[in-house]
Amino acid sequence: TRSTRPQRMLKAVQKNATKGNPKSVISAIDYFCKHSEWAMNVGDEKGSILDSVVTEVNPSTVLELGTYCGYSTVRIARLLSPGTKLITLEFNPANAAVAKQIIAYAGLQDKVILVEGSSGDLIPQMKERFGITTFDFIFLDHWKDRYLPDIKLFEECGLLRKGSVLLADNVICPGTPEYLEYVRKSPRYESKYFPAHLEYTKVEDGLEKSVFLG
Ligand SMILES: O=C(NCc1cccc(CNc2ccc3[nH]ncc3c2)c1)c1cc(-c2ccc(F)cc2)cc(O)c1O
Ligand SMILES: [Mg+2]
């Protein structure tokens, strides 16, 4: 049967990247998406903004919602201090299987805990399953209609502390209007928009960085 796009992306990584070299894995995926097939990775332009926020926060506890093929997982994990792990949630088992292999090819498997399941089910389990008290950094890149219910879930589960940073992808395209309205209107968040473009295109998109004020 015909391969899937994530499987073809994995093949491109295995062919063009150097094992154990995260930068080469990132470049191989970006090349594949620019010259072979578009895919919904955060991409190089928004990825550079992601890098700068992760570097600024230098988080000890990290959660990613929406692993897909592991591109942003690799971008984040390569910047974490030794001993720090990131938890990434992926609903689609086929995506998770490819992501696991791409993360391992980058040599970052010891810095990543990939969990299969949905944010709505797993967020309430973070404390008991992973011994998390609060998250320093959260990257939202999953189903766009889940951003708002999930930020409310983080509040209800006491998973945010003064200074916790949430960075949301695709707030313009496909768009997350209810989430944007919430974080920009709420007195409990300090929000900032980083303009960019939809990965590998000229279409307007951007990232919203929201700091929880406690
Ligand atoms: O929709 C998007 N991404 C989310 C997504 C999408 C599909 C499957 C999953 C399955 N993974 C999943 C689901 C639910 C979950 N709950 N907890 C974890 C978890 C994990 C996730 C997206 C779309 C576009 C886009 C497409 C087309 C176009 F024209 C313009 C833009 C660009 C992006 O950058 C995007 O990020
Ligand atoms: Mg995205």
pLDDT of residue 86: 98
pLDDT of residue 94: 98
pLDDT of residue 82: 96
Nearest CA to ligand 1 atom 21: 142
pLDDT of residue 1: 82
pLDDT of residue 17: 99
Assess contact for 182 and 148: CB atoms under 8 A: yes
Phi and psi at residue 18, to the nearest 5°: -100, 125
| Residue segments in the chain with a per-residue pLDDT below the cut of 50 | none
The verdict on the CB of residue 150 being under 6 Å from ligand 1 is no
What's the gap in Å between 170 CA and the centre of ligand 2?
Answer: 5
3-state secondary structure the chain: CCCCHHHHHHHHHHHHCCCCCHHHHHHHHHHHHHHCCCCCCCHHHHHHHHHHHHHHHCCCCEEEECCCCCHHHHHHHCCCCCCCCEEEEECCHHHHHHHHHHHHHCCCHHHEEEEECCHHHHHHHHHHHHCCCCCCEEEECCCHHHHHHHHHHHHHCCCCCCCCEEEECCHHHHHCHHHHHHHHHCCCEEEEEEEEECCCCCCEEEEEEEEECC
Do strands 165-168 and 112-116 pair parallel, antiparallel, or not at all (unpaired)? unpaired
Question: ipTM score here?
Answer: 0.99
The verdict on the CB of residue 64 being under 6 Å from ligand 1 is no
pLDDT of residue 118: 98
Query: Whole-model pTM?
Result: 0.99
Nearest CA to ligand 1 atom 35: 40
Q: Is 169 a catalytic residue?
A: yes
The verdict on the CB of residue 143 being under 6 Å from ligand 1 is yes
| d(C-alpha 62, C-alpha 198), whole Å | 24
